[in-house]
Amino acid sequence: MINISEIKDLYPFASHFFKIKDYNYHYVDEGKGDQPIVMVHGNPTWSFYYRNLIKEFSRTHRVIAPDHLGCGLSDKPQSFQYRLETHIDNLESLLLSLNLDNITLVVHDWGGAIGMGFAVRHPQKISRLIILNSGAFSMDWIPLRIAACRLPWLDDKLVRNANLFVRAAMHMTTVKALPAKVKRGYMLPYQTYEDRIAVLRFVQDIPLAPEHISYEVLLEIEHGLWMFREIPVGIVWGMQDWCFSSRFLDRWKLYYPQAQTLELADAAHLVLEDAPDEAANFIHRILHE
- pLDDT tens, residue by residue, 99-114: 999 999 999 999 999 9
The predicted pLDDT at position 79 comes to 95
Q: What is the CATH number of the domain that holds 202?
A: 3.40.50.1820
pLDDT value at position 289?
A: 79
In total, how many domains does the chain have?
1
Name the residue range of residue 200's domain.
5-287
Task: Give the per-residue SS3 of the chain.
Answer: CCCCHHHCCCCCCCCEEEEECCEEEEEEEECCCCCCEEEECCCCCCHHHHHHHHHHHCCCCCEEEECCCCCCCCCCCCCCCCCHHHHHHHHHHHHHHCCCCCEEEEEEECHHHHHHHHHHHCHHHEEEEEEEEECCCCCCCCCHHHHHHHCCCCHHHHHHHCCHHHHHHHHHCCCCCCCHHHHHHHHCCCCCCHHHHHHHHHHHCCCCCCCCCCHHHHHHHHHHHHHHCCCCEEEEEECCCCCCCHHHHHHHHHHCCCCEEEEECCCCCCHHHHCHHHHHHHHHHHHCC
Per-residue pLDDT tens, the chain, 289 aa: give them. 688 999 999 999 999 999 999 999 999 999 999 999 999 999 999 999 999 999 999 999 999 999 999 999 999 999 999 999 999 999 999 999 999 999 999 999 999 999 999 999 999 999 999 999 999 999 988 988 898 889 888 889 999 999 999 999 999 999 999 999 999 999 999 999 999 999 999 999 999 999 999 999 999 999 999 999 999 999 999 999 999 999 999 999 999 999 999 999 999 999 999 999 999 999 999 998 7
- The pTM score is 0.97
**Residue 149: its pLDDT value, please?**
87
